[in-house]
Amino acid sequence: MYVFLISWLVRLAEKDLITETASKVEGKGRSRRKTAAAAAANFWAAAENKEQVLTVLADTLELDLAKLWKGPPEDSLVQLFAKCVFALLENPAITKTPTVQKGVGVVLRLLIRRYQQWSVSVLPSLMRLLHHHEHAPDVVADFIAEYATESEGADSNLVGSVLREIGRLSPRDVAKEATLAKNLAQCVCGIAERAPLDVVPCISVLHPHLDGESHVMRNGILQALCTLILKGFGARGDDSERADSSVKDQFFRILLERLHDVASYTRSKALQLWITLVEQQAVTLKVLPEVTKRALGRLQDKAAQVRKNAIQLLCTLMKYNQFGSTLRLSDFTLKMKECNALLNRDEDDLESSEEESDEEEKKNKKKEKKENKDGTSSDDAKEKKSSSDESEEECEKKTKKMQEKEKEKGEEEEAKEPPRKKCKVHNKNKPLPQDLDATRVATIFKGTPFEHIDLPLEQVLPQMQKLTAWVRDARRLITAVHAAVPQVAALLGSKNNSDIVEAIEFFTIANEFRVEVAQMGIRKMLTLVWSKEPAIREAVVAAYEKLYLTHPNPAVIAKNIISTTTGASLAELTSLEELLTDFMRRHRISPTVVDALWSFFGSSDSAEDDSCSALAVLGMLASGDPAIVLDKINLLVTVGLGPRRKRDERIARLACVALQKLRPQQQTQSSSASPQKKAEKRQEDEEEGGTKRRRSKKEKEKEKEKEKEKEKEMQPGVVLKNSHNLFVMLIEVITDMEIPALKWFPVAEQVISTIYALSEKPDQLAADVIRRLYKAALPDGDLGNATTCDVVGLSKLFFVLGHVAIKQLVYVEEVSQSRTETVKKEQVAADTGKNAVAGTSALEQELGAKEAQIECASDAMLLGAQEELVSSSCLLGMFSEFICDVCKNKDGKYNSRMLREAAVLALCKYMCASTTFCKDHIQLLISILVSAPESSIRSNVVMALGDLCWRFASVVEPFMSHVFEKLHDEDPRVRKNALLVLSHLVLHDMIKVKGQISSMTFALVDEDKRVSELAHLFFSEYSSKGNELYNSLSDIISALSVTPSVTIETFRSIVTYLFGFLSKERQFETLLEKLCHRIQVATELEHARNYIYCLSLLTYNDKCIRKLSEQFGCYKDRLADEDAYASFCAIVSKAKKFAKADMRSAVEELERKVQAVHEGRAPAENGGTDAPPAPIRTPAARRGRRRVPPTTTGRRRVHRRRRDEEEESDEQISLSSDSDDDAPIRRRTPAARKKTPAKKATKKVRASSSSSDAGAKRKKAKSSSGSEEEKKSEKAKKSSEEEASGSESG
């Protein structure tokens, strides 16, 4: 009686406590007054009261209750104790009171040991907890683990019974309940963590859940296996080590298999567990190659999280490798050769032994799989049959037998292995090498785990065998890393940020371990410095800082930076400059590193390549801090432009590039400012002016500080007089005829740019250079005499003329802009100094009238200066006719390719300088583009036309069709340049493409990979510009279909890629109608096939399905073709996937019609091909809508308001209800409406209106009938007059 009372009170108090806690969480108990139930709940919530109750229960159970009965106590009495305890366990607050939880464990242990309540009440109650309570897994795991550690003998097998009970659950039922799967997984992991030695023999009972549908359960089992590998195999004696190793191998095999799981979450979890095992050094060398191989396969997984974990696993394998701090394949290959020579084996024997070892491993795996299938299947079947009847002792016996079998298998394998190894790897009869001594052995063992082993020479060979196996495993790992490098490098271009960040980390670690092929990824990472994502940019900066700037020796840092420039492309050098500029602005590069770079450049002992690379790096650093070059001008002049340039002309070019960094940043950006940017700046200034009154004093002070910083940054750079020694050396370099012609052009370009960057009057120096080159090329001074001219000298002259024209144009714009700013400042000072009338001056200042006048005057002067630049009165204009004659080459005088290239390039630059010159010579340039046999000339002209279109759009745009034609040029460089130019112009709205966009689609399937990648990039950007791609898609399809050279595979490849950018349902609907009409008017079967294939690429919603059914007459004649029928089958199958329940019937009806026409049968009567299918009543129509009376005004109103097909179908149904049943559903013509009697119309109006409005509506009906009669009489008069006139004319 007392036990029942305590049990009842405890359960009632726990129920009230849980209810009170839930009400507080939900916010229901807001009243300040505490009720009696709340007070009782708070009293029972104290842990001391619960401990007292549990102490009483435990003391009661310790008594000999059997004396009260003749036999054991009744189960009903003992179960009262269990119910009381499990009522406490159901409260989530028990996890916060360990003392109460400990007391519950004491009571449960008494129930199990003394009263055998484990299978009767304890185990079912524990499983019920796991089914319904989220806090149960930790509680159950704690109790099971504590009981298992304190118990001995048969009582310690509680773990096995719990796991068997979990294994008996149906995997389907577990997958249906997410909470159950989560609780079971956490419980298994908790038990494995707390009692790993007891879980190892029983873990096999959970094997059915590995094939279940719940990935949460699979993840939990894999986590448990990982825990068992780390903790479940302690020191248990030599006899059990073999069994433990075989069990571990089975666990490893399961983890490897789960890397190919169906669920990406499980694959990701398996990779994470392998990372943990590698970090804990728990993976044996036997399993390591397979782990690396599986990780390589996951690099191409569809799930981003799996790819991320696969890269992390490869990084972990390198970090925690057992082969040293360097993973150079060449070093280990050399070590293997030394071992080979010591063992008297050849390289062929080595390769064959490695291959044989791999084959043997595969055979062993196959044998193990077969044994597992044969053995485990029967064992599992027996377990399933007898699991309910087996006792715990029988389970232990079975596990012991399994361990004994595994020991026997291990002994048999060991007995078989030694002879095989001895006969293949070591032969005792082979004599030792004669030159073998302690020094050679120490050299071979150096840097290996066997380095400190001192053995006599007679015992070296066994250690050498182990070393050979160790080196072979190292080579496998390094080879796998080498194989992963191309795949990880491809992930650097992924759209997922996590892929890119992890790939950067992979290459950073690979470079730290000296992997040879890691430089490929390191170079590819450079371009990511331009990424718009801050995480990617920061990862790149941090990676390069870690790679190159962390060494304590400045000379080593300088050498590392220099090494990145060797063999780098132009894009990589540009990216490196941006990166080094960022480092300089952040002060990450110390002055000692800069000094080391200058020493590399200036030292005569340095190699030419190192000097040039050091100078290139210094020029890049000067972009962030020009003071680096400012202090070393004399060194650059004496070394870079001195006699050393004759040995290597690159040093002169790089010296000029470094000197150009002294040019002020403001001047470099002034010429590139477009009108759009100026307008945006004005708008920002206006917005700032409007909000100026609202700004506080602190904000104004901050803005002033920012403006001061900008003024410091944009201070005018170094400007030198023309008599400076620098310009003397520059002119000497550019007029040096000993430099080879092809190497002279890049040097001359940088020399001229340096003159215009630093000279006070660059036009005078440029004129001096032109005169000197003119005298060298034409000693006679006759431009028309081609026989006495030097072709190379004349090519140099043309090149300088063109480049000077461009630089002079930029120089004129800079002078004009500086002059305009000076005049504005003077005008502002004059206005502020005057005491003029406040109203007029303030209004003019607000409107900016004077500033506008100053800008207009400067623009007019600038335009005049530009036109004057290449006129015949100037030095540059004197050569314009001669340049045109060389470009025309009428009589074949100028057949030199170098000369024609230089002349065409000069012509293009002249055209950029003047609008008039461009108009006069645009036809000549187009003729050169069309007829020039040299691909380099065509390529240059294409690029020049892009610049001209940007500058003089109205002049060049009519001729852009010739640039589109060059997309089909035979030379890939011309195609690439044409695509680059057109992409730039189209994306910046400089030209409008109509039907010419179809010619750009051919580049998607170009043979040249660079052209194809550029085309894919262009269309991905073009698709983001509103509906531009959609608007031109139908024209693209038609143009591709008509072009004879386009094959079916090419057409489908292009169209499939383009249709991937469509995402709006409205676009699908409109495009469907267009394609259906084009199918109907197609004159050839191939064209119709292409259009039908495009239909199969659309995504079908309800409206698309309805429209496709309505347009059946457009394509029914094409269904006899097998290809067209296959496309429509694909359409129907796709429509079934996306169709809703009420549209399934329409899709099935369409499928029947398509199949009937294809088979030559007539479609069903309700689905004829001549008329659209019967209208489908929507839910709105089924609810009933007001039917429109068949009057003229009513029909017009319906036609205006309801244009959708659904409303039109409702209207047809409403009209057909007034007609006969046998009459067809059709709309009445206007003539038929006129014949409708007025009485019939008034009846319908009278029926749908109230009595008060009946008279007014009757009048309207009469007036409408009268107006109709008047119109009828007027038409009759007109027809009679026409007949009379016709008879007269006859």
Q: Which two tokens stand for residue 31?
A: 């009243």
- Give dist(CA 819, CA 189) in Å, integer: 78
Q: Which of 119-133, 687-701, 1085-1099 has the lowest mean pLDDT?
A: 687-701
* pLDDT tens-place string over residues 756-779: 999 988 999 999 999 999 888 887
* Model confidence at 1131: pLDDT above 60: yes
pLDDT score at 937: 93
pLDDT bin (cut points 50, 70, 90) of residue 1250 is very low
Q: At what angle do helices 554-565 and 608-622 cross, to 10 degrees?
A: 100
In angstroms, how far is the first alpha carbon of the chain from the final one?
A: 127
* pLDDT tens-place string over residues 1154-1183: 888 888 776 654 444 343 433 433 343 334
User: Which residues 6+ apart lie within 8 Å of 636 measured at CB?
Assistant: 629, 655, 658, 659
Predicted structure pTM score: 0.72
- Give dist(CA 181, CA 220) in Å, integer: 9
* pLDDT tens-place string over residues 572-592: 899 999 999 999 988 899 999
Measured at the CA of 1088, the angle between CA 1086 and CA 1090, to 5 degrees, comes to 70
- Give dist(CA 129, CA 135) in Å, integer: 9
- Give dist(CA 34, CA 48) in Å, integer: 22
Q: Which of 154-158, 383-387, 1014-1018 has the lowest mean pLDDT?
A: 383-387
Stronger pLDDT, 1261 or 861, i.e. the higher one: 861
Bridge partner list, 759: 720
* Model confidence at 313: pLDDT above 90: yes
Q: Once rounded to an integer, what is the mean pLDDT over residues 645-659? A: 89
Buried b (16+ CB within 10 A) or exposed e, 922-954: beebbebbeebeeebbbbbbbebbbbbbbebee
- Give dist(CA 489, CA 518) in Å, integer: 9
Q: Which of 1-5, 331-335, 641-645, 908-912 has the lowest mean pLDDT?
A: 1-5
* Model confidence at 808: pLDDT above 60: yes
Instruction: Tell me what percent of the residues of the chain surpass a pLDDT of 90.
Output: 23
Buried b (16+ CB within 10 A) or exposed e, 493-531: eeeeeebbbbbbbbbbbbbbbebebbbebbbbbbbbbee
Phi then psi for residue 995, to 5 deg, are -85, -5
pLDDT bin (cut points 50, 70, 90) of residue 16 is low
Q: Which candidate, 1219, 1211, 1218, 1216, places its Cα nearest to that of 1187?
A: 1211
pLDDT score at 998: 87
pLDDT bin (cut points 50, 70, 90) of residue 507 is very high
- Tell me which residue has tokens 């709340």: 38
* Model confidence at 1110: pLDDT above 80: yes
Measured at the CA of 629, the angle between CA 628 and CA 632, to 5 degrees, comes to 105
The DSSP result for 757-799, as a single string, is HHBSSHHHHHHHHHHHHHHHH-TT--TT--SSS-HHHHHHHHH
The whole-angstrom distance between residue 375's C-alpha and the CA centroid of its chain comes to: 47
Q: Once rounded to an integer, what is the mean pLDDT over residues 732-738? A: 87
- Give dist(CA 664, CA 715) in Å, integer: 7
Q: At what angle do helices 1048-1059 and 1085-1096 cross, to 10 degrees?
A: 30
pLDDT bin (cut points 50, 70, 90) of residue 1278 is low
pLDDT bin (cut points 50, 70, 90) of residue 344 is low
User: Which residues 6+ apart lie within 8 Å of 1072 measured at CB?
Assistant: 1095, 1098, 1104, 1107, 1108, 1111
What is each CA distance from 128 to 133, 136, 161, 166, in whole angstroms?
8, 9, 15, 12
3-state class of 720 per DSSP?
strand
Single-letter residue type at 420:
R
pLDDT score at 90: 72
Q: Which candidate, 951, 978, 953, places its Cα nearest to that of 967?
A: 978
3-state class of 45 per DSSP?
helix
- Tell me which residue has tokens 């291959």: 355
- Give dist(CA 2, CA 726) in Å, integer: 110
Average pLDDT, the chain: 74
- Give dist(CA 352, CA 334) in Å, integer: 17
The DSSP result for 869-934, as a single string, is HTSTTSTTGGGHHHHHHHHH-SSS----HHHHHHHHHHHHHHHHH-HHHHHHHHHHHHHHHHH---
Bridge partner list, 720: 759
- Give dist(CA 859, CA 869) in Å, integer: 15
* pLDDT tens-place string over residues 259-303: 999 999 999 999 999 999 999 988 888 888 899 999 999 999 999
Phi then psi for residue 1176, to 5 deg, are -100, 125
- Give dist(CA 761, CA 746) in Å, integer: 23
CB-based contact 337:439 (threshold 8 Å): no
DSSP state for residue 93 in the 8-state scheme: G
- Give dist(CA 1072, CA 1069) in Å, integer: 5
Buried b (16+ CB within 10 A) or exposed e, 844-869: eeeeeebbeebeeebeeebeebbeeb
* pLDDT tens-place string over residues 1176-1204: 333 433 344 444 444 444 444 444 444 44
User: What would you report as the CA-atom Rg of the chain, rounded to the nearest whole angstrom?
Assistant: 45
Stronger pLDDT, 476 or 686, i.e. the higher one: 476
Q: Given CA atoms 990, 993, 996, 1000 in this order, what sign does their dihedral have?
A: positive
CB-based contact 622:597 (threshold 8 Å): no
CB-based contact 388:164 (threshold 8 Å): no
The DSSP result for 359-424, as a single string, is HHHHHHHHHHHHHHHHHHHHHHHHHHHHTTT--HHHHHHHHHHHHHHHHHHHHHHHHHHHHHHHHH
- Give dist(CA 870, CA 868) in Å, integer: 6
CB-based contact 193:227 (threshold 8 Å): yes
Q: Which two tokens stand for residue 993?
A: 């493409």
* Model confidence at 1286: pLDDT above 50: no
pLDDT bin (cut points 50, 70, 90) of residue 782 is low
